[in-house]
Structure formats: C-alpha cells, structure tokens
Amino acid sequence: MIKMALIRDEDKKYLTDEFNKKLKDNVDVVVFTSNNSDCKYCKETLELVDELAALNDKINVVKYVFEDNKDMVEKYGVEKYPATIVAPKGALDGRIVYYGIPSGYEFGSLIEDIENVSINDADVSKKAIDLLSKIDKPVTIKVYVTPTCQYCPRAVGTAHKFALLNKNIKSEMIESLEFDKEASDVGVSAVPHIVINDDVTFVGAYPDDQFAEYVMEAFNHEE
C-alpha cells in the first residue's frame, strides 16, 4: 500500500524555495503525542512535521510521548495532545503551541511561525509592540479554531507573534473539533474565539493593535 503524503508535491516545491530564502537560525518543531487510542490525529501530526522537516535541514523535529516523557511535558508546559511547539533550537520554550493538528488553513500559520522563530522577529505594528512591552508577568492567549475557518490563521498568527516578541506571553491554538468539550466549556460558538488569561474573551480576527489592547485588558485585571 502506497502511503499518501500530507503535503502536495507542488506545495513542497514552493515551501522548499520559501524556506531556503527565509530561514536563518535552526528551529525545533517539538511534537507531543500519546499512546492512547483517544489521541485524534497524533499519527498525522507526526507525518506532517516529518514531511516539513525533510524540506530544509534548519527544521529539526523533536518527538515526545505524553505519558513517557513527563519531565519534558512539564518543561514545555504541555497540557494535552497532540501538541506541536515551534521554538529556537534547544530552547525548551513552549510559548508557541498548537493543540490539535495544524492542518487546513492552520498549516499556513505553522509555516509562518517556523519562519518568524528562525529570524527571531515578527511583523507587528508599533502600537502593538509598545503595548506588549508593558507585559511583565505571565499572560496566556488561547485561540480556538477549526481547520476550515479562513479567518482563524490571522488570529493565531497574531497571538503567536505576540508570544515570540514577549517571553511572558504564551499563545495556544486549540482545534475546537478535536477538543470539543473544552471548546464547549468556554462557550465557543463561532471561531476564531479568543480567551486571554481565562478572563477576557472576544471573537474575530482583529488587527494586531486592537488584539494587543485586549491582551492589556487581561493583563491589567491581574494587577
């Protein structure tokens, strides 16, 4: 039986050229899967990141099993699986995370994260940067998505850029169909649905300066 690739040949060619142009420093793509049969898309998530890593030697895949590598679960702050983390090589940094397979429209977010982490920079407005620079204690941004939502990658991309630019921010993409109970518990009825510090909530893909204002609102509530 021939195994189908998850990334199409024409996309592989495009991404190979893109990575050759844009990648600077080595990047870890860290994947936590589980041996449990309840792990939706664990196998496919591993296949996806392996196919990506084959396109450029600056992309390094690190694999852990949730039940067997509890020390790394703790170091990266992973709460569920499958989890995919993008970090500088060797950094043990779990701030940019995907819970659920980063496929569909979210595949583009993963590519953008790999490129941004590799150059250690992100395209964010000056106003957003000024606001984010005030954050000096932990903030967690959760972006609930579905793979077919064309507006979701913008919200995920913005949240992940914020995490890259400020070490106090952790940004999680959570795939609502895979984690349907959690999505239901926080009241997701439309996506992208954003929850900041389990406190401030909004729906939609806002420009980064408006998004940053919501982040500051949650941050100020903590004071």
pLDDT-derived band at 198 (thresholds 50, 70, 90) equals very high
Same domain, 79 and 135: no
Order the strands of the 139-145 sheet from edge to edge.
Answer: 59-65, 27-33, 83-88, 96-99, 169-175, 139-145, 193-196, 200-203
What does the pLDDT read at residue 221?
Answer: 86
Give the mean pLDDT of the chain. Answer: 94
Q: What is the pLDDT of residue 165?
A: 95
Q: Structurally, how many domains does the chain consist of?
A: 2
183 & 210 share domain: yes
Are 112 and 136 members of one domain?
A: no
Residue 25's CATH number: 3.40.30.10
Measured CA to CA, the distance from residue 77 to residue 47 in angstroms comes to 23
pLDDT at 171 over 70: yes
Does residue 215 share a domain with residue 136?
yes
For residues 173 and 90, state if they share a domain: no
10 lies in the same domain as 115: yes
- The one-character DSSP state at 98 is E
- Mean pLDDT across 64-80: 96
Residues 157 and 173 grouped into a single domain: yes
Report the share of the chain in percent with pLDDT over 70.
97
Please check the confidence at residue 137 and state whether its pLDDT lies above 90.
yes
Is pLDDT above 90 for 40?
no
Last residue of a domain, one of 120, 150, 181: 120
The boundaries of the domain holding residue 144 are: 122-223
Quote the pLDDT of residue 207: 95
Residue 105 shares a structural domain with residue 1: yes
pLDDT at 1 over 50: no
Question: How much is the pLDDT for 2?
Answer: 46
Task: Check whether residue 106 and residue 150 sit in a common domain.
Answer: no
**Which H, E and C letters describe 202-215, residue by residue?**
EECCCCHHHHHHHH
**Of the candidates 45, 53, 9, which has an alpha carbon nearest to the alpha carbon of residue 27?**
53
Among residues 73, 100, 120, the one where a domain terminates is: 120
- Which whole number is the average pLDDT over 1-21? 83
Express each pLDDT in 83-124 by its tens digit: 999 999 999 999 999 999 998 889 999 999 999 999 999 999
Least-confidence region, from 9-13, 22-26, 29-33, 171-175: 9-13
Residues 113 and 64 reside in one and the same domain: yes
Give the list of residues 6+ apart from residue 4 with CB closer than 8 angstroms, or none: none
Instruction: List, for residues 97-106, the tens digit of each pLDDT value.
Output: 999 999 888 9
pLDDT score, position 6: 84
Domain boundary among 89, 120, 151: 120
Return the pLDDT at 104. Answer: 87
Same domain, 1 and 100: yes
In a shared domain, residues 84 and 179: no
